[in-house]
Amino acid sequence: DAGVIQSPRHEVTEMGQEVTLRCKPISGHDYLFWYRQTMMRGLELLIYFNNNVPIDDSGMPEDRFSAKMPNASFSTLKIQPSEPRDSAVYFCASRPYRGTGYNEQFFGPGTRLTVL
């Protein structure tokens, strides 16, 4: 199993530009989570999907952030327009259907975003 795949691994952009982060969950996993990690705020859950449907987006900081999951093997997190305070590491995680095992989340390698 390839694990959760994220791209790009690093992104440097200028303020005001659109940024798109991509995630491929582990095959067969029903849940996908987007997190943001910073030194100041720690690990924050932004949004999660169940069977491609957004369930809880209460962690999305503002309307500049949007996420989609068009199919079971692909999700995007978009920031438009980006701001320097969006600089962080963004993680994608997935897990199988609740009740089929340990329910642990498996994290991707992350995308380190720097907004200048």
Partner 1 sequence: ELKVEQNPLFLSMQEGKNYTIYCNYSTTSDRLYWYRQDPGKSLESLFVLLSNGAVKQEGRLMASLDTKARLSTLHITAAVHDLSATYFCAVDPNTDKLIFGTGTRLQVFP
Stretch that binds partner 1, among 12-20, 63-71, 75-83, 100-108 (CB under 8 A): 100-108
90 contributes a contact to partner 1 by CB under 8 A: no
102 contributes a contact to partner 1 by CB under 8 A: yes
Distances in Å between the Cα of 9 and the Cα atoms of 5, 48, 62, 91, 113 are: 10, 20, 23, 10, 8
- Euclidean distance between CA atoms 49 and 4, whole angstroms: 15
Stretch that binds partner 1, among 18-26, 42-50, 64-72, 78-86 (CB under 8 A): 42-50
Which of 23, 24, 91, 113 is in the footprint of partner 1 by CB under 8 A?
A: 91
User: Distance between alpha carbon 48 and the CA centroid of its chain, in Å?
Assistant: 8
Of the candidates 64, 91, 99, 60, the one whose C-alpha atom is nearest the C-alpha of residue 75 is 91
Q: What angle do CA 12, 53, 20 make, to 5 degrees?
A: 10
Stretch that binds partner 1, among 19-27, 40-48, 67-75, 76-84 (CB under 8 A): 40-48
5 contributes a contact to partner 1 by CB under 8 A: no
Binding site for partner 1 (CB under 8 A): 31, 33, 42-43, 45, 48, 50, 55-56, 91, 93, 98, 102-110
